[in-house]
Amino acid sequence: MNHRITLIPGDGIGPEITKSAIKILNAAGVKIEWEVVEAGLTALEKYRDPLPQEVLDSISRTKVVLKGPLTTPIGKGFRSVNVALRKEFELYVNQRPAKTFKGIKSLYFDHIDLIIFRENLEEFYSGIEHYIDSSRSAAETIGIVTRRGSERIIRYAFEHAKKHKRKKLTLVHKANILKYTGGLFLDIGEEIAKEYPEIKFDDKIIDNMAMQMVMNPYQFDCIVTTNLFGDILSDLASGLVGGLGMAPGANIGDSAAIFEAVHGSAPDIAGQNIANPSALILAAVMMLDYLGEFDAAIKIERALSKTIAEQIHVTRDINKENYVSTSEFTDAVCRALE
């Protein structure tokens, strides 16, 4: 099947790691026609807009995006491109897997394989905040949780668990203190759970959840939570498996989906051909799964896993004693595909 997909190469190391991901997708035999558009700092310097209209038009056409890391320009009036894209296309799911790979150093654990589903648009990230006095000595942020927003993220998590034969879903909240917002999210989770008797359902208060993830992450499978808690827990989970260098992510809505590396644009190493492309490669694997290209997704993940485990053709952040360039690492993954 031929796919038409928007490609945002990104800033900093973005063009290098997107080049790597594309080469591996081609080697796996996936047929893709790319619409290449620019956003972030690159677009700001070229078009005086970090999110040009052509980016929005392309995503509206293709519905699927592979995106390199973007730099949000510092300065009054400039918006976060990532947040703007989520709002523009109502990408209410932030999906973050955390999985250990042999050859990647993690502090204590092996064989972790969990997924966090974070509500992506509501709560404290709605942007409703203000100072409450003229001296700016106090400020207020309003976090809104709706039934619609809660239902669709929780149902998405259950459906994903069912489709991928996951056994358990844990809902994370703070309903003991945030009795209305947290209470609503928990109540809706308990209601929806009754429709999925084949999936074990439990809930955890956020502070206990953070402790439990560090002490025994193996008790968790899929995790669903609100925006702020999901932001924090997903990075915690990435830390358990070796850091953001192996952390892909997806922002998914009913009409579009964006797949990306979670890490930043690392301008200090841009253009040096030393960046680790694994996070974006794994984001491409998520994209293939979304598109129904299951065989190619499995092949690429296995090839990446094999290459990392061998510790011969890997980037410096993976093996400081024996390392190669980004392009050499990419070539090794392509060879492993064969």
Active-site option among 125, 203, 299, 323: 125
Active-site option among 174, 289, 299, 323: 174
Catalytic residue list contains 231: yes
How many residues in total does the chain contain? 338
Catalytic residue list contains 207: yes
Pairwise CA distance, residues 25 & 153, whole Å = 29
**Taking the mean position of all CA atoms in its chain, how far away is CA 156?**
15
Active-site option among 11, 203, 231, 331: 231
Q: Which of 200, 219, 250 is nearest to 65 (CA)?
A: 250
Active-site option among 202, 207, 254, 295: 207
Beta bridge partners of 115: 97, 222
What's the token pair of residue 303?
A: 């090839």
Catalytic residue list contains 317: no
CA angle at residue 91 from 88 to 75, to 5 degrees?
Answer: 50
DSSP line for 171-217: EEE-TTTSTTHHHHHHHHHHHHHTT-TTSEEEEEEHHHHHHHHHH-G
Q: Which of 28, 80, 15, 84 is nearest to 56 (CA)?
A: 84
Pairwise CA distance, residues 183 & 187, whole Å = 6
> Max Cα separation, the chain?
66
Is the CB of residue 37 less than 8 Å from the CB of residue 55? yes
Supply the residues annotated as catalytic. 125, 174, 207, 231
